[in-house]
Structures are given as C-alpha cells and as structure tokens.
Amino acid sequence: MRRNRKVRILATLGPASSDEAMIRKLHEAGADVFRINMSHADHDLMRTLVGRIRSIERAVGRPIGILADLQGPKLRVGTFAEGSVPLDVGQTFTFDDDRAPGDATRVHLPHPEILVSVKPGDRLLIDDGKLQLKAVKTNGKSIEAVVVAGTKISDKKGVSLPDTDLPLGALTEKDRRDLDAVLQAEVDWVALSFIQRPEDLAEVRKIARGRAAILSKIEKPQAVARLAEIIELSDALMVARGDLGVEMPLEAVPGIQKQITRACRRAGKPVVVATQMLESMITAPVPTRAEVSDVSIAVFEGADAIMLSAESAAGQYPVEAVSMMNAIAVQVEKDPTYPGIINAQRSEPEATGADAISLAARQIAETLRLSAIVTYTASGTTGLRAARERPRVPIIALSPVVETARRLSLVWGLHCVVTPDASDLDDMVDRACRIAFAEGFGRAGDRIIVTAGVPLRTPGATNLLRIAYIGSDGTNGI
C-alpha cells in the first residue's frame, strides 16, 4: 500500500476505534502509526490493541508503527464538601496540606512538591486554565493565592504551574509499570509526557535500553527553554499544543510550533504536530476551514507527522477524520508553493559521510529526475538522514530489521519495506530495483539512486551512492 504523500498520519485509538475492522479501515484511510494513550488504556487493552495492529500489519504486508503515550505526572486538587465552590476575581484562596474537604476559602493539594516549590508571583492554572490564580504567600505547607480569572473550582481539577520548576521526574510509578508493559508488548515508540528538563529522559532510556524509541512531548515552558538539549537526547519530539497552550500564552503557541519543527528538521529528528487539528470532526463529518488551514500549516512547515487525538479515538467520524487529514496533506504537497517552502527551510548538512551522501543523492535524484532514492538502513540512521534532506522524489527505506522499519513509519517521506539483507553489492542493487518496480515507484527503463554502507552490515557506514536502471524484469538493467 503506497501513500501519495510524504507527511505521516498518527491516529489515536480509543472507544470509537478499538476493534480490528475499524483499525484496518483507519490504516486504509491513511493512518501510518497508531497511538495508544496509557492514560485511558490498561495493560490488557494495550496488549489487545497491539495484537490487532500486528495482525493488520501481516495482512497488508507493510510495517505499521505503534506509539504508547505514557500519562506522566497528573497534578490535581483535592475534593470539596459540596463538590465545587464559586470564586470571585480578587478574592484569596488557599491550597494546603490539610486533607479535610475543601470550602470557599481553601482546598487540599495532595502534592507536597508543589507546596514547597511555588513562590510568590507564580501562577496556578486550574482546569486547563479556566481558573487562574497568582500566589501571594507561601510557607512550604500552604499557598495563599489571589483569583485572577475564573468563577469556580471543583473536585480533582488539574493544576498547571507555568512559572514553577517542579522537582518531579517525568515518570510516575504508574508510568514505570506501563513502560514495562509496553516494552514487553514490543511497541515501537514511547511518548514521555510533561518533560521539563533533559534529565527527565535518563530514567526512561535506562529502562528501555533501546527496545523502543523515545518521543519527548513538549508541553511545558521549561521544556521550550531547554529545547536544544532535549532534542539531542530524544529520538523524536511532539508539539503537544493542548497543554502547551495552557501553560503558555495561546498566541505564542504557533511561533513555538514553528521553532520546534525547524529545530527538529535541522537535527534530523522526527517531529509530530498534535492536538485539536480536526477537533470539530469529533461530532461533525467535516472540519472547519480554520482546522483545514491548521493541518496545512504543519504540512507546509515540513513536520514529519500530524496527529489525531479524540477525533479518531472517541469521535463519531474516525475514518472520515483520517481521510480528511490525508486529503489535506495530499493537496498541500501538490501545491506549487510547497517545494519552495520546504527548500527554503533546508539546513546545511553536517560534516559526516552519511549527510554528504544523503545530500548528493537528493541533488542527483532531483537533477536527473530519477524515480526514487533507495536507502538501505539497519539502525534507521541512514533513513533519517535521507528524510532530513526532504527530497522531491520518493524515498524507499529498505531494512532487514522489522523494528527499524516500524519506527521509520513515523518519518517524513519514507516508504518502508522489510527485506532480507543483501548478500553482496550486486544483490543489493538488484533488490533495490526489484522493490522499486514492485512497489510502483519505477517502471522498466526508469533510473533510481541507491545509497548504502560498504562493507555491508556495518552500522552508520553510509558511503556508497549508485545510479541503477530498472530492467524489463524489474531487476538492475545495467
């Protein structure tokens, strides 16, 4: 199944899309990678979903990526005697360590790390920012704050602290249990929520030991401030605009999205743009014009993947949402302005053999109008460097490692094929020609360009570039 677009689509599974028939429909409509949200899925459901995706993968004969999204530390207020209380702008309200039910003056905050970390002047945002307060007095056991905006507070609403650097790791005890379970289930990507600092990645990397790639979700201002360090330690990033828009001014989010996308492109790390992309399609069969524009901006920007959340997980039109996102992406990539925008953001290659070969392959393929770039990649690095160039011609990533092919299904422009390792150089070129022919990327007489590392099976040794003709039987015609 060949996609007619370079950007990838990441679809979240949920109550509306858990059975195998529906997952198959979502894949056929355009979903390349499936997200399992561990905030809502228990281990049994997660394993069932993984099994269903793998069953579909075997049926369609294409690698499909699976991303498990860990919940991360959820900070919530306690409960109230009446369930909720009204508040007035300007009044004071206290968060403390007293477990007694809350009232109109105070509520329990069951997170001592917040009580000791918040300083006067720090903001406290409750219920996705619907209630905003500013701390005026703190003593390590309570926070006295003044209401800045909002009219009520109720049981167990979430707390966001955009001005406070909390002494919390990104992994909770629940996350550790979930991480062990998803690694045993052999998911391809693990998404880490509420990253604040590069050190937050250390524990998950130690546990994962390379069994899954690590995607860092950027949803806090502290992470934006240390973006370069987090990119360096991550395998991919996600612009998680929901929480980012709560913790930072909404008007700043579009600019931050561009900063993150471009920084990831420079580094050659995949980047996903997520949250509310087609939000109205949860209940409507068509999106708003603004949502179409939002999706198109991410595609024009060169993001590797665009994501559906509730639209595919719990919406009334999951297949239509994936189809619409696919249609928007296809149309954008056909737009005459698209190549120019993509080219304008291209970064200079790093001083490595792999980057030099990838640059040369793109330039030759575009100059000679070749049918495809075929890259051999065991670890995935060569495929990532080829995609970093954002060539106008298709990229076929051949790998003998199915786990690598699944991970690369998140990456811009890569058509991933699992194939046995080549026995020698001639076999490698023949195999590249046969697969390009069989997958519909070239016809007899067309030319492709092949990149690989010699000697074969040497990780990170990309040093070969070769032009080959596709013969009448699909093999190398030279």
Q: Which one is catalytic: 76, 174, 258, 266?
A: 76
Query: What is the rounded distance in angstroms from the CA atom of residue 295 to the CA atom of residue 277?
Result: 6
Active site residue 48: no
| CA-based nearest residue to 315, from 33, 8, 49, 11 | 11
In 338-380 the beta strands, taken as DSSP E runs, fall at 372-376
Instruction: Please name the residue ranges forming H helices in 110-193.
Output: 112-117, 173-184
Query: 134 catalytic, yes or no?
Result: no
Query: What are the two backbone dihedrals, phi and then psi, of residue 11, each rounded to the nearest 5 degrees?
Result: -115, 130
Helix 20-29 with 318-334: angle, nearest 10 deg: 20
Amino acid at 339: P
Catalytic one of 5, 157, 217, 447: 217
Catalytic site includes residue 94: no
275 has catalytic annotation: yes
Amino acid identity, position 471: G
Beta strands across the sheet bearing 123-126: 106-108, 92-96, 142-149, 131-138, 123-126, 159-160
Find the catalytic residue in 6, 8, 35, 106.
35
Distances (CA, A) of 35 to 18, 23, 55, 242: 11, 11, 16, 16
CB 122 within 8 A of CB 161: yes
Q: Which of 164, 275, 462, 475 is catalytic?
A: 275
Residue 146, SS3 per DSSP: strand
Catalytically active residues are 35, 76, 217, 275
